[in-house]
């Protein structure tokens, strides 16, 4: 049966307070988690957790294109028991991504484990470790990783991130929703586009993603 529960936690916004971190692009996608528990693969999206053997009867609540993508790539989604992969499903947001640059539909940003109450724990955002949930020890060709933007030696202020955003958008020559900042495996977000429109980043700690 479908479990009514949203398992991926909200992401806090960057507080822009001055130490070392990794910056990745925040894709304008929809949060999507795959995990295996008791030898069953599950799909977690919005507030629904769907076992793979009930995919057909629940395809109407899946993201656009996800049902076909899973059927095409099901053999590649071979995870270790208790492992989870977390990423962005493209095609549902305001920003459109050129297939020449983004030739995947699903882009990873974290790995995790799943407990008996269907909660994620041990969330790790290190891209070098994203291979470990997969039984084959490698990321399938049908799955990408969110783009890396920069590695910084100090925690930036807002002006530093604004400058980095200008340089990065000029480099990639397209609209960019913002950045995700990873400091000691704690992430926060720097947001410049909302509903497809450019805006100034501001600390919005009390609101959701």
User: What is the per-residue pLDDT across 72-127, written as a single tens digit (0 to 9) for each?
Assistant: 999 999 999 999 999 999 988 899 999 999 999 999 999 999 999 999 999 999 99
State which of 101, 123, 146 marks the end of a domain: 146
Which range is least confidently modeled, 83-87, 137-141, 155-159, 203-207? 203-207
Q: Quick one: pLDDT band at residue 15, thresholds 50, 70, 90?
A: low
Assess whether 185 and 119 both reside in one domain.
no
- Does residue 163 sit in the same domain as residue 113? no
Whether residues 50 and 118 share a domain: the answer is yes
CB 132 within 8 A of CB 79: no
d(CA 158, CA 201): 8
Same domain for 22 and 120: no
Classify residue 2: in a domain, yes or no. no
| Structural contact between residues 83 and 111, judged by C-beta atoms closer than 8 angstroms | yes
43 and 121 housed in the same domain = yes
Residue 135 forms part of a structural domain: yes
Q: What is the pTM assigned to this prediction?
A: 0.88
Residue 103 and residue 35 in one domain: yes
- Domain containing 141: what range? 29-146
First to last CA, the chain: 28
The verdict on residue 72 lying in a domain is yes
d(CA 12, CA 128): 23
DSSP states along 132-190? TTBTTSS--TTEEEPPEEEEESS---HHHHHHHHHHHHHHHTS---EEEEEETTEEEEE
CB 148 within 8 A of CB 155: no
């Amino acid at each position: 049966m479908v479990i009514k529960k949203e398992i991926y936690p909200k992401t806090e916004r960057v507080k822009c307070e001055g130490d070392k971190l990794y910056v990745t692009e925040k894709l304008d996608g929809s949060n999507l988690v795959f995990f295996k528990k008791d030898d069953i693969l599950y799909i977690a999206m919005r507030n629904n957790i769907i076992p793979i053997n009930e995919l057909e009867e629940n395809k109407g609540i899946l993201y656009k294109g996800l049902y076909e993508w899973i059927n095409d790539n099901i053999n590649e989604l071979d995870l270790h028991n208790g492992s989870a992969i977390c990423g962005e499903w493209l095609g549902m947001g305001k920003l459109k991504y050129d297939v020449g640059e983004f030739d995947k539909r699903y882009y990873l940003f974290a790995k995790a484990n799943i407990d008996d109450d269907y909660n994620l724990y041990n969330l790790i955002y290190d891209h070098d470790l994203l291979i470990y949930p997969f039984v084959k020890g490698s990321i399938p060709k049908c799955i990408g990783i969110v783009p890396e933007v920069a590695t910084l030696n100090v925690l930036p202020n807002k002006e530093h991130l604004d400058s980095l955003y200008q340089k990065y958008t000029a480099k990639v020559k397209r609209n960019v929703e913002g950045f995700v900042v990873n400091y000691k495996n704690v992430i926060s977000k720097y947001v410049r586009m909302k509903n497809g429109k450019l805006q100034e980043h501001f600390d919005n700690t009390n609101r959701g993603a």
